[in-house]
Amino acid sequence: MNTLPEIQSNSGRNHFPAAPPVFTGNAPKDRRPTRPLTVLLLLLLVLPVARGNQLPSIAVSDFTCDQRTVLTRGLPDMLAEALVHSGRFEVYEREKLHTIMREQGLQASGFVDPQTSVSLGSLAGVHYILTGKITDYGIETRDFRGYGVSTRTMFYRLKATARIVDVKTGRLLFSKTDGVEEKVTESLGLRVGDTTMDARLAEQLAVKLIKALLETDSFKPAGESAAPLVSASITSTPGRADVEVDGVFYGNAGGALKLPAGLRLITVSLPGYETWSKKVLVQEGLTINTALARKADARIEIKAE
């Protein structure tokens, strides 16, 4: 049985969903009226689609995760569905991809082994392969007791990195790490054991990852010219932080980088430190020096006297 990892509450008891999520895409009656996938489909209506009959083909592999979870298949399923609706790609059938992997004895290890991604994509006969890893997945319980009040709050979280590799060249074209979190209290309609939470988190995360992908210059439709690349210098303290432009990884801080010109969202991040992010007009000779603050412990514990 696949469940969320257990994190002990202040009261010393564990409270977690007892059943794995079902990826039906249907909301229970008490779900919020705003559907993430509905929002994504509306977004796709206003984004330009690929022109002509020749669409680039893409296969979406299962994700990896250090924990057992059905989301290693559920999240890629949602990403593949969104790519179909985008009109930008010919999406290779996921079941056929699973058959190839079984026949070739391949594991969903493309995230850590780019060569595996290239081999899998070549066998499927596609232009691109999308792989990924779920990097954070869990639930935290926080109890408050005091002043005659007893409250339990649940924090569900999901974070993943998606990558797209060009099968022909082996070049990494897209890399995006993003996450979502849901806060639930017992006073809301959802109970602590709600089994739809995984699907809700996966939907929200799929929306964010696909939106970033479709806005990337590498995957804009033919006829939309890509922005010219200009030289820029970005440094960070501590050094070697990741530099992303509009959700795409361009290198590490501390050296000269080639970045797309124009108004861009530049993000500088390093594990354990607060992320630096700002809209910047990128032009030749741009210099940015960032100082990243160490993250404070996010856990808050309130104990009743």
Measured CA to CA, the distance from residue 27 to residue 286 in angstroms comes to 47
Instruction: State the amino acid at position 204 in one-letter form.
Output: Q
pLDDT recorded at residue 224: 60
CA distances from 300 to 15, 38, 295 (A): 18, 34, 14
207 and 144 share one domain: yes
233 and 213 share one domain: no
CA distances from 137 to 6, 85, 181, 289 (A): 10, 27, 10, 33
CA distances from 61 to 43, 172, 218 (A): 24, 15, 20
Query: Which of 155, 185, 219 marks a domain boundary?
Result: 219
Q: Supply the mean pLDDT for the chain.
A: 77
Cα-Cα end-to-end distance for the chain:
38
The total number of structural domains in the chain stands at 2
Upstream peptide bond of 238 is cis (omega within 30 degrees of 0): yes
Residues 256-276: tens digit of each pLDDT: 899 988 889 999 998 888 999
Q: What is the DSSP letter of 300?
A: -
52 and 153 share one domain: yes
224 inside domain: no
What is the helix (H) or strand (E) element at residue 145, kind and residue range?
strand 128-146
| CA atoms lying within 13 Å on the CB side of residue 23 | 17
Residue 244 belongs to domain spanning: 229-291
pLDDT recorded at residue 286: 94
Instruction: State the amino acid at position 92 in one-letter form.
Output: Y
CATH of the domain at 281: 2.60.40.1120
Structure tokens at 99: 């058959």
Ramachandran bin of 143, using left for φ above 0, alpha for ψ from -120 to 50, beta for the remaining angles: beta
82 vs 191, residue with greater confidence: 82
Helix (H/G/I), strand (E/B), else coil: 249: strand
Instruction: State the amino acid at position 48 in one-letter form.
Output: P
Measured CA to CA, the distance from residue 254 to residue 237 in angstroms comes to 9
167 inside domain: yes
Query: Which of 169, 195, 219 marks a domain boundary?
Result: 219
Residues 2-41: tens digit of each pLDDT: 444 433 333 333 333 333 333 333 433 343 444 555 555 5
Q: pLDDT confidence of 113, banded at 50, 70, 90?
A: low
43 inside domain: yes
46 and 120 share one domain: yes
Give the residue-averaged pLDDT of 138-152: 79
Instruction: Answer for the pair 46, 176: CB distance below 8 angstroms, yes or no.
Output: no
25 inside domain: no
21 inside domain: no
66 and 165 share one domain: yes
160 and 121 share one domain: yes
169 and 242 share one domain: no
Number of H helices, E strands in the chain: 5, 13
128 and 100 share one domain: yes
164 and 241 share one domain: no
Measured CA to CA, the distance from residue 263 to residue 114 in angstroms comes to 31
CATH of the domain at 212: 3.40.50.10610
pTM over 0.85: no
236 vs 18, residue with greater confidence: 236
95 and 192 share one domain: yes
267 inside domain: yes
150 vs 137, residue with greater confidence: 137
Instruction: Answer for the pair 184, 201: CB distance below 8 angstroms, yes or no.
Output: no
Ramachandran bin of 170, using left for φ above 0, alpha for ψ from -120 to 50, beta for the remaining angles: left
Interior CA angle at 190 toward 189 and 191, to 5°?
Answer: 115
Query: Which of 195, 219, 243 marks a domain boundary?
Result: 219
49 and 115 share one domain: yes
Please choose, from the candidates 231, 229, 257, 230, the residue with its C-alpha nearest in 3D space to the C-alpha of residue 243.
Answer: 257
CA distances from 128 to 86, 131, 215 (A): 16, 10, 17
Least reliable range by pLDDT among 4-8, 121-125, 129-133: 4-8
71 and 157 share one domain: yes
Residues 168-197: tens digit of each pLDDT: 888 889 999 999 988 877 654 445 455 588
303 inside domain: no
5 inside domain: no
